[in-house]
Chain A
Amino acid sequence: MTVARQRGQTPVAASVGDTPSGGSTVLAHPKILIEDVMFEYPDPRSDARLRALDGVTIRVRKNEFFCVLGPSGCGKSTLLYLIAGLQRPTQGRILVDGTPVKGPGADRGLVFQEYALLPWRTVRENVGLGLKIRGAPQAERDAIARAFIELIGLRGFEDKFPHELSGGMRQRVAVARTLANSPQVALMDEPFAAVDAQTRTTLQEELTRIWSQTKVTVFFVTHNVDEAIFLGDRVLVMTPRPGRVQGIVTVNVPREERQWATLERDPRFVGLRSQLNEMIRQSAVPADGHRDH
């Protein structure tokens, strides 16, 4: 199945520097450009302001599967909310296709950690929700929803409500709902964190398959090292709060060789895993000895 993608935005000539970001890649026209972003929010328990992100610069290529790895509370979810336009950076800017993000929009879909399916809508209606919002006729909506429900292997569950599904099935529906809306960028917030280990590996394989068919740019946040290697073209490691870029690693295992059955014994996979774990360990050590938090 192929998903038609016609929403072409003309990139505004943006002042994108050619400085390498963390890794070694030079990207003149990134799909997503996060430039020197800082984010602070008021502490609900005091007058102080808490800094979740600091000096974050990231360039994500078109059609890339980009993974962000970091401990809980390092601001990686905040980063997604900023790209989605649900929150504004305190400093710095975010551009998608060269256009500054001003607010939420259909070009940047978000898959929430806790699914966020509408409990009063069936699987079919949830998957077709984005198309409904954008005024697509019923027949088109149903056809696209059917194709995506097929793609996630939930045929026969079209008329079920979310509470009648397992956690893994709900997350599949949530992914389908985002992708059925044919976004330019799919943002994913630890979508498989709440499902059991077996379901998670299945979902990861399915997501790779669906991504290869839709070729959407994916910005995937996780705290699971193996998951990041399995899914990502590149993996970014974030420091604990305030979140900074610790480094970026390119996954040198070809897609066709990424199967859980063999991958865990692959020396390249083992090497990447220890490299990333080492980066996470280093990031946890305060650089200057007296970092606040």
Chain B
Amino acid sequence: MKRFLLVIITVLLVGFLATPILIADNLDNKIGIGLGNPYFCIKYGLSSKLSIEGRGAFGSGIFAGGARIYYNFNPEYRAVIFVGGEGDYVSFDVDDVEGIGLVGYGFVGGEYFITRRFTFNLDIGPAYIFVRENQFDFNEKGLEWVFNLGINYYFK
């Protein structure tokens, strides 16, 4: 299955790189909303190269909310390659374990403009996660690899 995942990633990346079609648009001043695995986000283009994003991710008893910044290498193309960073505040209440935490995530990825408004994006990178439970003050920390997929809709 790992191999299958690598194939998907490779195909998508090659697809991104192999289709440098100018769509006569860029990310400057664009506002978009997105949904993913599972997260929701609001994205805004500060310039053609830089975008910021507020995002919230949720799972059974876990919420992570934070912000992202993207640097877009080729913002005027259908397939935009980016790098970026994300910081999140975490709160959790799973069974009888309750606490808070922090996440720092660095990523590389791409966003593919299926139409001028609809995009598909993926990113992958290392996340440093720190969580602490309230009752006994135990904590856990360390690096984990994270892979995200999502879709975005831009309003203009």
A and B pair up: no
